[in-house]
Amino acid sequence: MGVSKNSTVAIYGKGGAGKSFLTSMTAKTLTERGFKALQMGCDPKHDSVVTHFGGALIPTVLGTWAQYEKEGRADDLAPEHIIFKGNGVYCIELGGPESARGCGGRGITFGFSLLEKWGLSEWNFDYMLLDFLGDVVCGGFGTPIARSMADKLIIVCSNEGQSMYAANNIASAVRYFAEQGGKTRCLGLVVNKDDGSGKAQAMAGWLGIPVIASMPLIPQDQVMIDGVPHASVRAAVDKVIAAIDDLDAVIPNRVDFVEFMMHLSGNAAEMDGTAVTADELWSLPEVVPKAKKLQRELVLAGIPNGGGLDHRYVESEDDRDRILVPTVVSVGGGNVPAADWG
């Protein structure tokens, strides 16, 4: 059993794959059908639930905790300070650190620790949907898999290479923790922005997981019209809910991503080229005497190592202008453009 008393589903995918919108539409549909659903955004940019709030960003767990901590009243923080309701959906955004000031994965782990302290496993939701960033390998973003907090996992993927790379990484995490005794299993793949190439479907085949649903690339102004999602989105959501309720989740196969990519139609069956040997890599061309003379001149001018010209090939005096050197170097305490040398 995962976090919720009923179905806890982690929805993973590369940034921009469409997982947040799919998660939001799924949560909204479940609510319209009379179920109690919680959607949790697990991405530092905290924009998972904006659809439910007219595009507004709600306060985050980490941001709110930091404010309470700063004011010396962290013990007063409670679930009602970080759970908001929009479109009938209960929503949480874990949030993350400011750019370049902390680790997003550790922030996610800390956020979950707070929620667990508040009795997250006892919250009575029919469905809990965890919307997770999936194009990183950081262990913090694998928290629901590592801790078996999610019963089931869905991967959202396009036919783009980086999206499939992320999908394979996510599946690999599920398999790894399952081998360690973890309980999270993979329900399957949702193909978004499907161009008909079949690449993401092939990835699902290699992983041994089903394709739950497929959505074509939809013009932005047609995704939602007067609050109603596009027909293909509604159809995909219906299939996702049916999969959550009825489909058996599995442990994905191990896939060598390079091998997979090489077997895709249009990619090379085998690499056409010759490997560079160590001798080729380290055998430098002989430096002619004029180059050595130039190097001595640069050393005398105060340039360390003579600009490292022993690693450059100078055939003649004319080649002096083609030497790869910095645009500006420090000589005698002043900046001298390289063009002014000599």
Residues with a catalytic annotation lie at 14, 19, 45, 135
Phi, psi of 94 (to 5 degrees): -70, -40
Strands 334-337, 328-331: pairing kind: antiparallel
| Contact present, 204 and 189 (Cβ < 8 Å) | yes
Which residues 6+ apart lie within 8 Å of 121 measured at CB?
Answer: 3, 4, 5
**Nearest C-alpha neighbor of 113 from the set 149, 70, 81:** 149
**Nearest C-alpha neighbor of 328 from the set 337, 319, 315, 318:** 337
